[in-house]
Amino acid sequence: MLSRCQRWSVCFLLACGVYSRAQHGGIAEPAEYSLDRMLTSWEEQTEGTNLALSRPVTFSPTPEYHLTSEGGSDAQDLVDGALCRRSNQAIWWEPKAVGWKGNAGRWNTIIIDLGEPKAVQRIVWRVVAGCRKRNFYGPRRVRLSGGLDGRYVHVLRERLRWRDDVAATDTYRLPNLGPPDSGDDVYIYPIVVEADNARMRYVVLQFEMDGNWLASDELAVLAGEGQGSDISQRPRTELQTRDVWVRSDEPEYPVVPDVAFPLWLRQTDLRPDNAKLFVRYEFRVPEGVTLTAPPYFGPQKAEPGVLAYRYGRGGNSIRIGPLFIQGIPSGDGVMEIRAIGKNAEAQPWQQVRLRPAELPPPFRLKRLSASIGWMVDRQQALWPDFEVAYARLGFNTVPTFPRAWASRALKEGLPVETVRQSPDPGSLSEGGRRLKRLRELGYRVVYMESPIHSVNWRHPEDAKEFKCQIPGNVPREPSFCPSYRGQYFEEEIQRIADHALMVGPHEYVLWDWEIAGSGMWLGKRCTRCQAAFKASGLEWEAFVKRQTLEILDALNAAVRDGFAAKGWTPPELGMYNQDTVETYCGVFDFLQDKRLELQSPSLYVGDDPGAVHDRIRAARERGGNNRIIPWLTTGTYGRVRPVSSRVMVWETLLNGAGGVTYFCFADFNPAHTLEVSRALAAVAPLEDVIADGTPAHGEIRVHPGSIRHSAMRIGKHGGLLLANPGAEPCTAEWAWIGTNAAGRATIFPGDAVLLDLQLR
C-alpha cells in the first residue's frame, strides 16, 4: 500500500473522473490533480441545458449531515446551479452543500422530477473524495435510472469505482486515496454518467457509500436531443422511497446439501423512528432448501408456503441475520424475500436465485490458521452443526470473545479466586467448556479482545477519570489517557488476565486497540500528560510511545504470566493493523518494539486483491518469517466480489503469510463462503510449502507482464499463483527459472490460477 496520499487524475478526455474500458479501451495515465482543471471540466461537461435547475428533489433517506442540512434547504441546494468556492475544497462546511452520513455499504437515492418526460444525455455530479483520513472516500458505486411514473424505474447505467473492481467494464476513476492514516487533501470530482439520450421524467441517481461521509454541492442533468429513446426495454425495478425493505448482496447464491451457509440481508428502513419499530420478514423458499432463522426471530403465522418472522430491529442500512440456508433447490431455485414494517406497506417480493453447488472434498489444514475472526460466540451457537460445518469449510481456528460470557459467569457467582487457583479454569464456565470441547475436536482458539476500549463501554459515567484531562472538556470520542494508571487501568488488566485463564489454553491473542494513538493529539491538551511529559525529559513522540508501550506491556504480561503460572504453552500475540510495513497509530513499530509475535495487517481494501499481494509480500520481506495473519474482509469498506475472496486468500498465503482471519461474520454470504472454502482447499496440498518454504517470486518468468505472480518453494515442491488484474481473459506463459517447470494458463478477468508443482 502507498505510504502517503498520491494525487491521481484521469486524462480529461474521460471527463475528469469517469472512465470506461468499454468505450476507451485502456487505463488512463495518472495526472496531477488541479482544482482549476476540475472546474473547467465541470463547465465543459455541463455545457447546454441543465434540466435539473430548480426542479423538485426527493432524497431517500434524507441527508442528515448537520453542517449542510441546517435550514432544511438541501433539496434546493443540490440543483441551484451554484458551486461552493472554498480554497481547501472542504465544502461540508457550506450550508449550500448537501452531506450524507452513514456507513460503508449504505445506499442513498436522489430523485429529480423534470415535470414531464424529456430526453436526457447525461448527469454530472460533483462530490468530495480523496481523503480517507477524514473519511471522504467518494462513492463506491453509482447507478443511474430513469422513470416515467415515479414508482418503477429502468436502470440505465451502473458505474463502479475503478480500484474496487478492476474487472468491471464500466468504471470511473477517483484519485488513488492512499492508506487511511496519511494525508489531509480532499478533492472535488465531477462524476459523469451517460444516459444515452433516454426519455424520462424522473431522474434517479443511487450511490453506495464507502465511508462515513459523502458531500456534494451540485447535480446537473443535461438535456438530450428530440423526444429521446424509449427506456421500457431496460431492466425495471421498483423504487423505494418509504417503508422498510431488505435485499441480498448478490442476485444468486450457491447452496449445498451438507453445510448450512450463512445469509445476511441488508435492510433499508425509511420509516420515522425506525429503530424502535418491529419488522416482519417473509420468505418463499424453494422445495429442497431449509432456511434456519435465529431464535430471536419470532415465528409468525403466514399463508401456506411462506415463512414469516418478527424481529425488533428497525434501522437504516443494517445487517439482518444470521440466517442459514442449506439443501438442493428444486425447480427454478428462486427464493423470494420481503419486509413489512409496522403500519407500512409490504415491500415488493425480491428474488434471489439459489443454485446447487458442491463443496471441495473434505480437508483439514494442520499448520496454517484460518478463521472468521470477528464472529462472536453467540453467533457460532446459532450456526447449525457449527462444530462440523466450520471445519468442513476449511476453518480450523475458532475465535472467542470472553468479555461477554466470562464476565457473565463471574457476575452470576463464579468466584474469581477459584478461576485463578484452578488447574483447569477453562472448565469452570459454559463458555470455557465449549472451547475445551472444540480444542478436543482439533480446533485452535484465538482470544479476541478490545482492551482499553472496554473501559469506555463499562464506565462511561467516569470518563473524566480515565480520559485525557482537558480543562473544561471531556473528549467525546472513545479514548484513554496514556498517562492514566488508576483504578480502571488496574481493573482492565486484571479482567484480561482472568478472562485469558477462563478461555483455557489457546494458540493466539489478537488485540484490537484502535484508540492506542489517541494520546498523541489529545495528550497535548491533557494536564496529566503534560506534567508527566515535562518530568520525562523526552521528546513528545518518544514520551507518548513510552506511555503507550507500558500499557501494551501490561496487557501482554496479563496473558503471558497467567499462562506461565498454569504451565501452558504461551500464545502468539498480535495486534490489529500492526505489521512491519507501517507504524501503527503513530506509536507502534513492530520490528523496533519487539512486543508481538504476529503481524496482523488490516486489508480492508475493497475488491483489490493486488493490494493484498503488495502488503503481504512487503510484510514477509521485512519480517523474515510467516508469522503473519492478516485481517481480510468480504465486504467491509466496499463490496468484494466472491471470486476476489478466493484470490485474496491465495495472495495472502502465496506471498508468505501463515494464515487468514476475517472481519466480519456479517459480511459473509453463501457465495463468499463457498469461494473461501475452495481457496483453502486448493492450498491444503501446499501447506508444507507455505509453512516451511521461502518466497520464490524472483524465480518466475511470466508473459505478459501484466499478470501478477507469487511463488513459494521448499526443495523441489513449489506453489505458483498467477492472477489477471485486467478486464479481458489472458493466456499467460510462465516458466520457473532453473527447472523444467513451464506452461500456459488462461486466466479470466479478476481471477487467478494456483499451481501445485514438482520442480526438476
In one-letter notation, the amino acid at residue 66 is: H
In one-letter notation, the amino acid at residue 687 is: E
Q: Cα–Cα distance between 255 and 285 in angstroms, integer?
A: 12
228 and 282 co-located in one domain: no
**End residue of a domain, out of 195, 213, 238:** 238
222 and 269 co-located in one domain: no
224 and 278 co-located in one domain: no
pLDDT at 439: 98
**End residue of a domain, out of 597, 621, 648:** 597
437 and 528 co-located in one domain: yes
Q: Cα–Cα distance between 510 and 598 in angstroms, integer?
A: 9
The total of structural domains in the chain comes to: 4
pLDDT at 344: 82
Number of CB atoms found within 10 A of residue 272's CB: 8
**DSSP run (H or E) holding 99:** strand 98-101
User: Strands 717-723 and 752-758: what pairing?
Assistant: antiparallel
432 and 552 co-located in one domain: yes
pLDDT at 168: 44
What's the domain range around 206?
A: 12-238
Residue entry with cell 498523541: 520
User: 628 near 578, Cβ under 8 Å?
Assistant: no
User: Strands 700-703 and 708-714: what pairing?
Assistant: unpaired
485 and 407 co-located in one domain: yes
pLDDT averaged per 10 residues, the chain (length 760)? 26 26 30 63 92 94 79 91 79 86 78 97 88 62 91 86 49 48 64 94 91 87 96 85 86 96 90 73 96 94 92 74 96 95 87 97 98 97 98 99 97 97 97 98 98 93 93 87 97 98 98 91 95 97 96 98 98 97 89 96 91 97 98 86 97 99 96 98 98 98 98 98 95 97 97 97
CATH number, position 271: 2.60.40.1510
Task: Name the DSSP letter for residue 359.
Answer: P
193 and 304 co-located in one domain: no
227 burial type by CB count under 10 A (0-12 exposed, 13-18 middle, 19+ buried): exposed
277 and 162 co-located in one domain: no
Backbone angles phi, psi at 364, to 5 degrees: -145, 120
**End residue of a domain, out of 543, 565, 597:** 597
228 and 305 co-located in one domain: no
**CA of residue 94 relative to chain centroid, distance:** 30
45 and 170 co-located in one domain: yes
